[in-house]
Chains A and B, each alone.
Chain A
Amino acid sequence: MTFFLFAGDMLVMAFMVVLVVWVFMRSSDETIDEAARIPLEDEQADG
């Protein structure tokens, strides 16, 4: 049973990692840069 859980968990997690890496590699540099800058532009700047 534990082997089954382990194997299943490894497969699901490996799939998730591959999926995330794939989605991210398809994203443009511009999109990634915009996401990275979110904390720098998150408040009204006129105060």
Chain B
Amino acid sequence: MTFLQAMLLAVLQGVSELFPISSLGHTVLLPALLGWKIDRGDPTFLAFVVALHFGTALALVAFYRQDWIRIVRGLFASVVRGRIGGDPDARLGWLLVIGTLPLALAGVFLEKPVRQFFGSPALVAGFLILNACVMFAGERLRRVERGPGSKPARPLALLPYASGAQIGFSQAFALLPGISRSGASIVAGLLFDLTHEDAARFSFLLATPAIAAASILEFPRLLVPEAHAVLVEALTGGLLAAVTAYASVAFLTRYFRSNDLRPFGWYCLIFGTVCLTLALMKVIV
């Protein structure tokens, strides 16, 4: 992996981790399209990926720092008093805890076998098309439910815990490369009557513990002797991923105030179809 390839992967990670277009799918398809030979099991590459995740997690924590301070305070206060009560920060905190558990369990038990079986560019491109269909279907159902005389949107503060768990469960589908974690959770949020803005906010808040925990638990990979060979790439890439992730989340939180998922659906449909065609023609393998 050259320095330029490393920086392109860093930008790709920072952008695609939060945009509902599947970062995992893009890190399989783009190197295949560009003909890059990357050994995904190589310790230097794994160390580099950990640095990118670390940068993304830092960006999310920095962007939502005020929210996280209130959420963590609320969580501790609720444990001390033994009840959540009417504290909206504690309630949001427990929604995030409940929503994170399904992904944590699925990630631990299913990540390796799933990636082993579904890592080919053709399958990833197929899942990217499926990701587009999920977003289109979610938006369609949303518009049907939001028709005249429908019930008003539910504020995030009033989301039931069971719905939070189901939104969290939807993230587990993103273990399939090509299915977007944020896309799945935003669609699930919309189906539980959240606005696009609240569904995106909940999705990004849910992403923070998942990405942060993954990067902390994988941190020892950065300390292996082989990782010293990519120290400059890892540090620069991590910083670049942090900057692009921060810019992405800032853009998306503003975007979802008045827009929907359909443009991302069209992008996934077109890019997925092109990649699937090329994979079936054996142009990319």
* A, B co-complexed: no
